[in-house]
Amino acid sequence: MEAIAHQGSRTPREFGGPLGAAALMLLLPATVFHLLLVARSGPARLLGPPPYLPGLGALWSPPALLLWLAWLGLQLALYFLPARKVAEGLELKDKSRLQYPINGFRALVLTALLLGLGVSAGLPLGVLPEMLLPMAFAVTLTAFLFSLLLYLKALVAPASALAPGGNSGNPIYDFFMGKELNPRICFLDLKYFCELRPGLIGWVLINLALLVQEAELRGSPSLAMCLINGFQLLYVGDALWHEEAVLTTMDITHDGFGFMLVFGDLAWVPFTYSLQAQFLLHHPQTLGLPMASFICLIKAIGYYIFRSANSQKNTFRKNPSDPSVAGLETIATATGRQLLVSGWWGWVRHPNYLGDIIMALAWSLTCGTSHLLPYFYVLYFTALLVHREARDEQHCLQKYGLAWAKYCRQVPYRILPYIY
């Protein structure tokens, strides 16, 4: 373990090292609360101060904590239902492969059915928007606690289980980045569970509750609210339908499970990604059919690029002789793996990010152009993906060396052809 920690100290520290990590641990929760407060305020100013600073009484609520724990319990129970398939992850340092249940989409459908039953039995879904602030507080507290337990668990994990990046020896940095790559309790893979279930399904649940509240307030949901719900449900449904693809993403294969991913998965995703629906509830927008059709077209283009690029790489990584990818041009690397240099991955080096950003733009446009606030998502997300792309470049350069440099020469643009 010491050898790894020593190795880690030589690897470059990301996110500005311990200071950057400490700042992010304050800034990320503060941003979540800022957005929650601003979305419901009249001026809805992204850059201005929040309308008020909530006291502990407005943040701390035992029912909100109980609701959050019940939600976590439900998603855990659904995780343990028999899976339609058990998939293998990529090979680990010790040459083993972990197994993962593929039943996330079923969890989404069963959650929807249970919710439908609950609502028909009188469950007041429309009160959820009123609980967002204390819910976010409860989730933030549990994210800190959970990350601490993960940190302690990693202290006794074998060296082969540690992540490449979160073992610098600095506790603040390692707490943030995550020390252990795939922490597990028996068959429960904690990172895999958190990546796609409580936060992601929670996001569409919050959206739906906002739609219900809007219908209660104004008689029917607006077109903009319906579009946002539909677009984001498609995004979440797609992620869960292609759940297996998460096994080849950076989050699973490279990053340790620490505060960055815990908070991101459990708090950031549901509370900030639902910002557009929160904004629409308090700032109704009139969306004409021509504009709505135009936005749907942008969303469809983004989705097409995002899905085809991700599926192409995933199929190639799983089985390079699959007929859909066998004809593509490749570069051999010293690791024995190949890099695609034609198809989507010969167009730009991260076509999937481009598709994702185009979809993000469609979501923001749905909220009109009167406020900057709903554009927070596309702005933040572009910055996230640009930064993520740079991190991935570094990892790939370390992994593939000259072959990666050759790929970059052949495919010079990172995300946006001829521009970036």
Interface residue with ligand NDP among 350, 364, 377, 415 (CB under 6 A) is 350
> How many beta carbons lie within 10 A of that of residue 127, not counting itself?
12
> How many beta carbons lie within 10 A of that of residue 75, not counting itself?
21
Nearer to ligand NDP, 175 or 353 (CB): 353
By CB under 6 A, the residues from 356 to 375 that bind ligand NDP are 356
Binding-site size, ligand NDP (CB under 6 A): 21
Q: Which two tokens stand for residue 37?
A: 């407060």
Nearer to ligand NDP, 295 or 340 (CB): 340
Nearer to ligand NDP, 282 or 337 (CB): 337
Question: What Rg, from alpha-carbon coordinates, does the chain have?
Answer: 22
> What is the Cα–Cα distance from 399 to 387, expressed in whole angstroms?
19
Quick one: three-class SS letters along 120-134? HCCCCHHHHHHHHHH
Q: 114: Cβ–Cβ under 8 A, 6 or more apart, which residues?
A: 74
> What is the Cα–Cα distance from 353 to 346, expressed in whole angstroms?
14
Contact letters for ligand NDP, residues 202-241 (x by CB under 6 A)? ----------------------------------------
Nearest approach, Cβ of 345 to ligand NDP (angstroms)?
4
Nearer to ligand NDP, 7 or 248 (CB): 248
Nearer to ligand NDP, 100 or 353 (CB): 353
Contact letters for ligand NDP, residues 381-410 (x by CB under 6 A)? -------x---x--xx--------------
Cα 168–Cα 339–Cα 88 angle in degrees, nearest 5: 65
Residue type, 33: F
* 7 binds ligand NDP per the rule CB under 6 A: no
By CB under 6 A, the residues from 302 to 321 that bind ligand NDP are 306, 310, 313, 316-317
Nearest approach, Cβ of 60 to ligand NDP (angstroms)?
28
- Contact call for residues 272 and 139 (beta carbons, < 8 A): no
Nearest approach, Cβ of 273 to ligand NDP (angstroms)?
7
Nearer to ligand NDP, 197 or 313 (CB): 313
Nearest approach, Cβ of 368 to ligand NDP (angstroms)?
23
**Integer CA distances (angstroms), 168 to 14, 26, 109, 178, 368, in order:** 11, 21, 41, 10, 45
Nearer to ligand NDP, 72 or 360 (CB): 360
Return the residue nearest ligand NDP (CB atom): 249
The SS3 of residue 188 is strand
> How many beta carbons lie within 10 A of that of residue 58, not counting itself?
13
Contact letters for ligand NDP, residues 330-349 (x by CB under 6 A)? -------x-xx----x----
- Contact call for residues 376 and 278 (beta carbons, < 8 A): no
Nearest approach, Cβ of 118 to ligand NDP (angstroms)?
28
Nearest approach, Cβ of 62 to ligand NDP (angstroms)?
30
Residue type, 147: S
> What is the Cα–Cα distance from 281 to 125, expressed in whole angstroms?
14
Nearer to ligand NDP, 244 or 392 (CB): 392
Q: Which two tokens stand for residue 81?
A: 């239902």
* 197 binds ligand NDP per the rule CB under 6 A: no
**Integer CA distances (angstroms), 236 to 3, 117, 248, in order:** 40, 21, 18
Determine phi and psi for 189, rounding to 5 degrees: -90, 110
Nearest approach, Cβ of 236 to ligand NDP (angstroms)?
10
Nearer to ligand NDP, 146 or 303 (CB): 303
| Beta strand residue intervals within 169-231, DSSP E | 184-185, 188-189
Determine phi and psi for 263, rounding to 5 degrees: -65, -40
Q: Identify the H or E element spanning 338.
A: strand 338-340
* 353 binds ligand NDP per the rule CB under 6 A: yes
Nearest approach, Cβ of 220 to ligand NDP (angstroms)?
29
Nearest approach, Cβ of 313 to ligand NDP (angstroms)?
5
- Per the DSSP assignment, residues forming a β-bridge with 331 are 339
Nearest approach, Cβ of 385 to ligand NDP (angstroms)?
6
Nearest approach, Cβ of 353 to ligand NDP (angstroms)?
5
By CB under 6 A, the residues from 244 to 283 that bind ligand NDP are 248-251
The residues that touch ligand NDP, with contacts defined as CB under 6 A, are 248-251, 306, 310, 313, 316-317, 337, 339-340, 345, 350, 352-353, 356, 388, 392, 395-396
